[in-house]
Structure 1
């Protein structure tokens, strides 16, 4: 049975079973105001625990679990599941992610890699059109079974809860189950994202039935629900991850990939993939060592390969450590930020990929000696980009490695979702997860209410790319950058991350510099105007910065600034010196995020 999202008139929009803690929607009559979602604030300060997410439903779901005695990991999984209902186009059980965890008991940081993997049958030339010998156009790669990687999120939830949580999966899924069954109020951002994907969703029977209302995007202010997803979450609560990777959900995923549910008569060329149930059954989560970078007395922990986030943020910070940014004019600090980012991206594009398939000079990339070498390339004026990759191998183990790949500009599209949680005991989770594009592959698993990712488009289509070529069982390179900052004594200072494709890295880097170098509070660091250079000739710059005296000064240095709105969508938590927690989200970008604390200040 396939049950679509249903739009209901406000007069009948009683949501009796929706999440507790402020998620219930009142019954209204035609003379009353339309239903509204929970209140949303960008900053919250207090004690006992904190959650920052892109959406108030997700933040409240995490807060509910904290209130019921769960720890930061329990709350992070609950918030993730809720965001799969209300932000289904950014991250869901049809995708994967990276979780960085700080344990207050041990003082250690670890990471959980639930990144998607390519099906075993995937060939290196999968994205080359056999008729032309050229790469298949990106949109055709994206909207296809070819692009779908084996989802890892559910296995990641399971391992995080087993190894680091205090609650079982069936308990932390309850807020999301009630939310999917009872419904939520559509906001402008959900409507906009649905409209942007309407033509794609319209070409798949399951996506049309699940996410469109009479063929259109649901309107902001209306209430919609996803009973299919509620049923899927109940299956997970009852049977655990086994039903997703070996049972009926696995069979439905494999069938949707190999036989995409295209609407009869559609002119869209949807290429099938080759995923089998065995690919899902064989999927493994990997608990990895984090990347670690010492920066001005802080320890910056991030996600290692196959993510390029931790190493690229870390390398750029190492380069910047040679400059006293807090003593410089703001335009000069931003000039150095641009140049260090371009250098780090040149190396990222050349060397990063799946460590199970290639040798990565991670130690060299994060060494102070390599950073010092790269720093000498920064002058007073803008460099000509793209810059060539450096050679980190001498600073790794001294053994020459593979020749670097093309260091050109990284692909900038794609989206994700990020949430940050801290509990009263001092445990911290920085969690980024995704289905890649906004809307993923566009293919909804019939009867189960969730979209499948297009994560395999993160591979380079060139089968000879040395670091990031497609291969069966391989994890594509990612830009996700969940980050945790500790002080010299090993106590948490802040944690944050962002969606935004390859620009995730530059958003996280700039927030780190704003907060640790420039003296901004975390809310100020998040709200400040951003720019982003991915080793290309142009630096994407938000309008309030590009039109300022600082923007003029950067242009005078030779930087080509191009207007770009909404770089990243950061959420984070700061640990204040007086023992309070401060949750922070975007106040404006992408409609703003939601920050909550368990015991807020009066």
Structure 2
């Protein structure tokens, strides 16, 4: 058996070597026209915070569409959920535009500043410097969310930007009561906030963590949002805000310039599309790694009749498909504007056939036999929301500042908490980032380059049902969204999709992370006998899903039950 396994691993290595020379000079063909003639007649929004969901419905009530609502939800999350996202970060969105019956992917990912230097992220001994990669201004990429929100309003919305930003500005000015998750995050990072006066002023008013039940105001961010509302993209990337951002970053040892901000551009890309069991899965292209990995996993699984297998063998095959997709994630993916990503190879059904042949039906493939590397536990951050409006427009948007509370650095005079997305580059090739993910030169930092992301906002369209789905969760985003998609395809409703117990394998570390209750005792024993190793951890993720049953023309929205502060609502 071991000899057969080695031969199959050698076959897979041959396929990888042969395929690595193939590059996609053009985007993989993607189905842009989606024939959904119906309209729901009502709307559904699921987000990580009740105030954000309500902000989305407030904008819909003013005559806005799903894209206006997305601006309202994202900007409100910037105020009330800064531990996960904000205007100092970026987003990726997979969208369906009902008027043109087409899908589009909006890339508002952060970019590296022109003066980026990998040496800034190394210790004297050449090891990764986790502090400069994760804390302070050197860890921050040029934000993309403000430009992305202005882009949505200008190109897809029905309302002026100032109308869609109004709920966030009001909440930041008048204040709100932070939930326990935000207060806990501030407490965890209070020592880092204390390193920078503007950070301490915002997050430690009076020198302490805000108390539960207290009203917390954010006048600095309110003013920055007002300038964005008044002047559009220019209100952030030039003028007063840009000047303050650059001055604050450089004063604290960072390297941003006004030109870095002025040069930022939103990118529209063709989403990836994969067919699986009669459903069309429309998902994120590079610089997201998530959509590629999901498509690769589904392509591998399409060669198995999972419905005829017992739970243990079905889960075994899913785990092995995850393992192989993450192996490719580490080696090939990066910003397509800077490197040739071999999408033709990675998304080919023939490539999936080859990978499928390396999977033994009843034995795990040790990751060490595929390639040596190191890793660690993935983190659980970022945020996602899903929207379907009355006309059938759809937005799956995942927003992030990377790790909890980003860089913990607030630019003085702006209220803007900066991201720490520079850690999502392969700052030191083949060394794990904070999520345990490895990277190659394809994801090395360069001026203006977008760092690789696991964000996987997706739309799933079948003969009778449509789902808008996504989740935060670092590298587990990919497997969460995969498992949610499989639940939808198996007939689950929105609550079943978000509530499904999760498991995760990311190639390295070579363990299957499981939520309590993900596998029963018999399944755990069977998988252990196959050679899988388990690590139980606390429940993870914050999935938000809206499903449209086109037979009954009813919407179903649900927010992840693992956290109490989200809201999925239909009205």
TM-score normalised according to structure 2 size? 0.88
Look up the match of 2:206: 214
Counterparts of residues 96-115 of structure 1 (less than 5 Å): 96-115=90-109
Equivalent pair of 2:426/2:441 in contact (CA under 8 Å): no
Equivalent pair of 1:386/1:409 in contact (CA under 8 Å): no
Alignment partner of 1:258 is 2:250:
yes
Q: Which consecutive residues of structure 2, in runs of 5 or more, have no partner in the other structure?
A: 1-39, 431-439
Alignment partner of 1:245 is 2:226:
no
Displacement of 1:275 after TM fit? 0.7
Look up the match of 1:582: 556
Cα distance in 1 for residues equivalent to 2:507 and 2:244: 41
Alignment partner of 1:363 is 2:344:
yes
Match of 1:425 among 391, 394, 403: 391
Residue by residue over 1:496-516, the C-alpha shift from the partner in whole angstroms, topping out at 9 and shown as x without a partner, is 101011111011011111221
SS in 2 for 1:253: helix
Displacement of 1:386 after TM fit? 4.5
Displacement of 1:463 after TM fit? 5.9
Residue by residue over 1:284-322, the C-alpha shift from the partner in whole angstroms, topping out at 9 and shown as x without a partner, is 111000011111111111111111011011100111111
Look up the match of 1:443: 409
Equivalent pair of 1:94/1:451 in contact (CA under 8 Å): yes
Look up the match of 2:110: 116
TM-score normalised according to structure 1 size? 0.83
SS in 1 for 2:446: coil
Cα distance in 2 for residues equivalent to 1:313 and 1:470: 25
Alignment partner of 1:349 is 2:330:
yes
Task: Point out the structure with the larger helix share.
Answer: 2
Alignment partner of 1:94 is 2:69:
no
Look up the match of 1:51: 45
Match of 2:422 among 456, 466, 477: 456
Counterparts of residues 6-21 of structure 1 (less than 5 Å): none
Residue by residue over 1:192-232, the C-alpha shift from the partner in whole angstroms, topping out at 9 and shown as x without a partner, is 11112111112211111111233332222222111111111
Counterparts of residues 81-480 of structure 1 (less than 5 Å): 81-129=75-123, 131-136=124-129, 138-260=130-252, 272-379=253-360, 380-386=362-368, 388=370, 409=375, 412-413=378-379, 415-462=381-428, 465-480=440-455
Equivalent pair of 2:95/2:105 in contact (CA under 8 Å): yes
Displacement of 1:596 after TM fit? 1.2
Match of 1:497 among 470, 473, 485: 470
Match of 1:530 among 496, 502, 514: 502
Cα distance in 1 for residues equivalent to 2:120 and 2:55: 40
Equivalent pair of 1:100/1:302 in contact (CA under 8 Å): yes
SS in 2 for 1:80: helix
Cα distance in 1 for residues equivalent to 2:553 and 2:117: 53
Cα distance in 1 for residues equivalent to 2:368 and 2:51: 41
Equivalent pair of 2:380/2:541 in contact (CA under 8 Å): no
Alignment partner of 1:597 is 2:570:
yes
SS in 2 for 1:500: coil
Look up the match of 2:59: 65
RMSD of aligned C-alpha atoms? Answer: 1.8
Cα distance in 2 for residues equivalent to 1:91 and 1:582: 25
Cα distance in 1 for residues equivalent to 2:247 and 2:121: 21
Match of 1:565 among 518, 529, 538: 538
Equivalent pair of 2:139/2:420 in contact (CA under 8 Å): yes
Cα distance in 2 for residues equivalent to 1:221 and 1:594: 20
Q: Which consecutive residues of structure 1, in runs of 5 or more, have no partner in the other structure?
A: 1-45, 261-271, 390-405
Equivalent pair of 2:380/2:540 in contact (CA under 8 Å): no
Residue by residue over 1:43-71, the C-alpha shift from the partner in whole angstroms, topping out at 9 and shown as x without a partner, is xxx96101100010110000111122211
Q: What is the total number of aligned residue pairs between the two structures?
A: 520
Displacement of 1:570 after TM fit? 0.5
Displacement of 1:407 after TM fit? 6.8
